[in-house]
């Protein structure tokens, strides 16, 4: 059964402005618990925007290393339980065997902070190297990608309270974007949408509206992109992880300004520009 829920709700509030105070309405985003269940057992519960559930399930399974390719999933069933959404994911035999072995290795209860993974070793898993990627971006590609993504955020335009992740291909623009109250969720949904559409992750750059944590780097590497471009700052661990993976991490994109933290050789600057 597919689940359909409204993404926003209109609420009334007291709005104080320099011109005065008055009652007014505002649209706010909905969020709901979304459970990922494999072989009938819940593996993780995330608070997420109630949309793009199949993209979310496929992307989460890929970026968390549960599957290596979309065809390892036999079926995805989405059920609305009222209090939340349960996504039942059935893996094919070989993938299910790997997952069961992995689950037996992991101790501790499910938690949302690390997508249900309590193992430090799992949380600090190595990422696939993307150093062989030949993709380069010009400086104006980077600034343009963020501007284009801002035009593909209807939920954020309505509420001002959600993140977005987009995929930018030079010469084509932002070909796909997903929104969610959670930055990791938006990226997982993007990963699922790209995989479902058969888009090669090495062909473009991941663009995000959030800061860059190590999980964002890990998920971008799982997509196969050599670029992650963000409007906010990265953490030190994210920078080290991107460097180890051979990924170009660009952050603090504000107007025409941005900082390149790793692998600057993939960014083509104009003759008057330079990297300090």
Distances (CA, A) of 138 to 14, 44, 105, 273: 46, 39, 44, 11
- Of 28, 47, 110, 112, the active-site residue reads 112
Active site residue 115: no
Count CB-CB contacts under 10 A for residue 78. Answer: 18
Residue 202, judged by CB atoms within 10 A of its CB (0-12, 13-18, 19+), counts as: middle
Cα 86 to Cα 119: distance, rounded to the nearest angstrom: 24
Count CB-CB contacts under 10 A for residue 96. Answer: 18
Cα 193 to Cα 58: distance, rounded to the nearest angstrom: 8
- Residues in a beta bridge with 46: 34
Q: CB-side exposure of 153: number of CA atoms within 13 Å?
A: 25
Cα 172 to Cα 224: distance, rounded to the nearest angstrom: 18
Q: 32-38 and 163-169 as β-strands: parallel, antiparallel, unpaired? A: unpaired
With a CB cutoff of 8 Å and minimum separation 6, the contacts of 201 are 194, 223, 224, 225
Residues tagged active-site: 112
């Amino acid at each position: 059964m597919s689940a359909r829920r409204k993404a926003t709700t209109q609420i009334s509030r007291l709005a104080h402005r320099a011109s005065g105070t008055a009652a007014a309405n505002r649209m706010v985003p909905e969020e709901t618990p979304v459970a990922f269940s494999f072989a009938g057992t819940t593996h993780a519960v995330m608070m997420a925007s109630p949309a793009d559930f199949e993209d979310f399930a496929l992307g989460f399974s890929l970026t968390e290393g549960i599957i290596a390719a979309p065809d390892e999933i036999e079926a995805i069933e989405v059920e609305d339980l009222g209090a939340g959404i349960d996504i039942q994911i059935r893996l094919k035999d070989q993938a299910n065997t790997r997952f069961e072995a992995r689950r037996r290795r992991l101790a501790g209860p499910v938690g949302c902070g690390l997508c249900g993974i309590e193992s430090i070793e799992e949380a600090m898993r190595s990422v696939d190297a993307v150093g062989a990627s030949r993709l380069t971006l010009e400086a104006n590609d980077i600034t343009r990608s963020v501007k284009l993504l801002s035009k593909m955020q209807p939920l954020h335009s309505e509420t001002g309270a959600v993140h977005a992740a987009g995929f930018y291909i030079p010469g084509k623009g932002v070909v796909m974007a997903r929104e969610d109250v959670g930055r990791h969720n938006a990226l997982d949904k993007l990963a699922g949408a790209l995989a479902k559409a058969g888009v090669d992750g090495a062909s473009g750059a991941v663009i995000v509206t959030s800061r860059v944590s190590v999980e964002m780097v890990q998920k971008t590497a799982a997509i196969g992109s050599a670029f992650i471009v963000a409007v906010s700052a990265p953490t030190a661990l994210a920078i080290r992880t991107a460097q180890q993976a051979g990924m170009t991490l660009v952050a603090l994109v504000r107007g025409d300004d941005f900082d390149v933290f790793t692998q600057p050789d993939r960014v083509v600057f104009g003759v008057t520009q330079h990297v300090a």
